[in-house]
Amino acid sequence: MIQNKRMMSLGAFFQPTGHHVTSWRHPQAQADAGTNFAHYAEICRTAERGRFDLIFLADNYAMREASPEALSRAAQFVCNFEPLTLLSAIAAVTERIGLVATASTSYNEPFHIARKYASLDHLSGGRAGWNIVTSALEYEAYNFSRDRHYDHEDRYERAREFTRVVQGLWDSWDDDALVRDRESGLFFDTDKVHKLDHRGKYYSVRGPLNISRPPQGHPVLVQAGASATGRGFAAEFGEVIFSTHLTLPEAQEFYTDVKGRARALGRNPEHIKVLPGLMVMVAPTEAEAKEKLDYLQSLIHPKVALEILSFTLGGADLSGYDLDGPLPELPMDPGGSQSSFATTVNLAREHKLTIRQLAYRMAASRQRVLITGSPAQIVDHMEHWFTNDAADGFNILPPYLPGCLDDFVELVIPELQRRGLFRTEYTGRTLREHLGLPRTKSRYA
């Protein structure tokens, strides 16, 4: 096997039953996955068997709003485990794979986040990662004593201060502060414990954190901002950056831009891993893979497809338009996801899709690249992006679980390994080691 010096990084992005909106109806999916720990233990061990770098769990703080008919037919956004709680349990049934969970800077306190992720890093032996989000759903605010969500720019300004505070709290204890000397009776060295004493525009946090320094120094910071402000935030903090671009030129522009921004801030661009989302439907032959996707598509209810399209367009009301006509000119919701809106509109314009066609496309992949084919065809696509400055690897989105993850591990991973693009064994134990990232030095070192 030919060995490449540069290897892909792979994340396994799990929605409970899978990423396709009708995944829960598939006979090879676990319909009660949202609260079925045995299901999660199985798929996480499968991902670890495939030598994935990390597992990623998204989250939000409200039940999605939609028409009752559409909402009652969707499984992804209702009755799911809280991800940090789940990953703490997963840490006990896995050994190597990284554990990344989403938490919002808008509806948490820095001390809570710093302590929880430090705890997960200790529980897992250095495998924790924090996906930093500012929350994009307006109705999340209603669950936190607010009448409206923070404005886009305000969210990111708060997030910058929030993240700096969390990083400071992770440095509260020097690595050798806990001496635990039974003979002298000294448990820790007080000179090696630091109060943060942060007083900023949004937060006032004294510290120190009441848990010792995480095994990785800092858990890995993950980000997915695609707007101009989001890119700036990702360049400043992100060590893994998830992206959602649908074409190679868009992905290349993002890759070059965010790494250039990071370089301008004095960061090493090689310490940032850009992982575009990739939904894969693989089978031994292309015809078999297309047949599998066609079956899933046949299960989509029209109202569900339209609700998903409306959501990606910031809640746009499409009821008065001809579904077999083109997407009309629509205003962008300034408080919603600007990147989601732009990606969806660009897709419709570029491929001249009707509203109905666009809705079914969105329902299938929800703004991710969807590749259907044989193992060689899947890897051809991945290799092309990887070797042409569009990706450092991929965040894999199985359409339904556990079936599609099993297929990826059994069919795609061996082809990646055969081409020398992906590891055959783990060489480290921490998430930073998997990703080739240095352990974070303390500011007090």
The band of 376, judged by pLDDT with boundaries at 50, 70 and 90, is: very high
In a domain, 83, yes or no: yes
Q: Is 115 exposed, middle or buried (0-12, 13-18, 19+ CB in 10 A)?
A: middle
Nearest of 33, 36, 219, 203 to residue 125 by alpha carbon? 219
- As given in the structure block, the two tokens for residue 29 are 């999916």
CATH code for position 223: 3.20.20.30
* Average pLDDT over every residue of 308-318: 82
Alpha carbon 303 to its chain centroid, in Å, reads 27
Number of structural domains in the chain: 1
Higher pLDDT, 136 or 432: 432
In a domain, 33, yes or no: yes
pLDDT at residue 421 is higher than 90? yes
Highest mean pLDDT among 145-154, 334-343, 399-408: 399-408
Coil, helix or strand for 152? helix
Q: State percent of the chain over pLDDT 90.
A: 71
* Average pLDDT over every residue of 194-200: 98
In a domain, 337, yes or no: no
pLDDT tens string 379-396: 999 999 999 999 999 999
Per the CB < 8 A criterion, the answer to whether 344 and 367 are in contact is yes
* Average pLDDT over every residue of 352-376: 85
Mean of the per-residue pLDDT values of the chain: 91
Q: Can you give the length of the chain in residues? A: 445
- As given in the structure block, the two tokens for residue 72 are 């009652």
The band of 3, judged by pLDDT with boundaries at 50, 70 and 90, is: very low
Q: What is the pLDDT of residue 360?
A: 79
pLDDT at residue 94 is higher than 70? yes
In a domain, 294, yes or no: no
Q: CA-CA distances (angstroms) from residue 426 to 101, 270, 288, 416?
A: 21, 20, 32, 15
- Between 74-83, 149-158, 201-210, the lowest mean confidence (pLDDT) is in 74-83
Higher pLDDT, 90 or 147: 90
In a domain, 332, yes or no: no
- Between 10-14, 79-83, 346-350, 377-381, the lowest mean confidence (pLDDT) is in 346-350
Rounded distance, CA 128 to CA 292, Å?
Answer: 34
Q: What is the pLDDT of residue 341?
A: 82
* Average pLDDT over every residue of 246-258: 95
Nearest of 12, 429, 53 to residue 216 by alpha carbon? 429
* Average pLDDT over every residue of 358-385: 89
Pairing of strands 198-199, 204-205: antiparallel
Q: At what angle do helices 248-264 and 228-237 cross, to 10 degrees?
A: 50
DSSP state string for 26-67: STTB-TTGGG-HHHHHHHHHHHHHTT-SEEEE---SSPPP--
Per the CB < 8 A criterion, the answer to whether 363 and 304 are in contact is yes
In a domain, 423, yes or no: yes
- Between 146-155, 193-202, 257-266, the lowest mean confidence (pLDDT) is in 146-155
User: Which residue range forms the structural domain that includes residue 278?
Assistant: 9-285+369-435
In a domain, 445, yes or no: no
Rounded distance, CA 69 to CA 304, Å?
Answer: 8
The band of 4, judged by pLDDT with boundaries at 50, 70 and 90, is: very low
- As given in the structure block, the two tokens for residue 426 are 């783990």
In a domain, 443, yes or no: no
Q: What is the pLDDT of residue 366?
A: 67
Rounded distance, CA 117 to CA 26, Å?
Answer: 34
pLDDT at residue 155 is higher than 60? yes
Q: State percent of the chain over pLDDT 70.
A: 94
pLDDT tens string 43-65: 999 999 999 999 999 998 877 76
- Between 172-181, 288-297, 322-331, 334-343, the lowest mean confidence (pLDDT) is in 334-343
pLDDT at residue 2 is higher than 60? no
